[in-house]
Amino acid sequence: MTIRALFWDIGGVLLTNGWDREQRAEVVTRFGLDASAFGERHKLAVPELERGRMVLGEYMAQTVFYTPRDFTPDDFRAAMEAVSQPHLETLALARELGTRHRMYALNNEGRDLNEYRVRTYGLNQFLLGFFTSCYLGVMKPGPAIYRLALDLAHVRPGEAVMIDDRAQNVEAARSVGMQGVLYENAAQLRKALAELGAE
């Protein structure tokens, strides 16, 4: 079957992860927070953030600013944004592929950070749409988000490739009939897509 669309994870593929374990640890250490207390509060708040039912200010109020701090929410937000960095080779490959394929984001992320990353790294220059958990209200690896993205893109499962750095998310995409590539680096991705006829 001909590949008609590529679906990209953002964090860990096109860019570094946005607010994953390593990024949180770096920022928590920088601001001298109690990692255990932050972790417990984060665990309760992050599903609401990533499903779009909480904005970043509300998340920070619950996880950091529930007690007086010697830094501001703007300081903390800037640090959260600063840990996002581009994967330059993969971005270049995506821009190249975007001249030949319909391409979309399919990722889990809160609205504020997602919009910052899209704007800062020009992801909307080559991705036609953003099927992000904060907009759709469902998250990977739940099968519903893949089915919804396919419906919105009007693509049959077998005509779509999901590119993700997490095996569980690739397996979930395959469970609904999509092709899947477990991302390691740009060179490996190019080769994997060529094998699927989508290079």
The bridge status of strand 5-8 relative to strand 160-164 is parallel
pTM: 0.95
Q: How far apart are CA 75 and CA 163, in angstroms?
A: 33
pLDDT band at 199 (very low <50, low <70, confident <90, very high): confident
- The pLDDT value recorded for residue 66 is 98
CATH topology of domain 21-82: DNA polymerase; domain 1 (1.10.150)
Q: Where are the domains positioned within the chain?
A: 5-17+85-195, 21-82
Residue-wise pLDDT for 57-115, tens only, equals: 999 999 999 999 999 999 999 999 999 999 999 999 999 999 999 999 999 999 999 99
CATH hierarchy code of domain 5-17+85-195: 3.40.50.1000
The pLDDT, as a whole number, for residue 1 is 73
- The share of the chain scoring above pLDDT 70, in percent, equals 100
| pLDDT higher than 90, residue 174 | yes
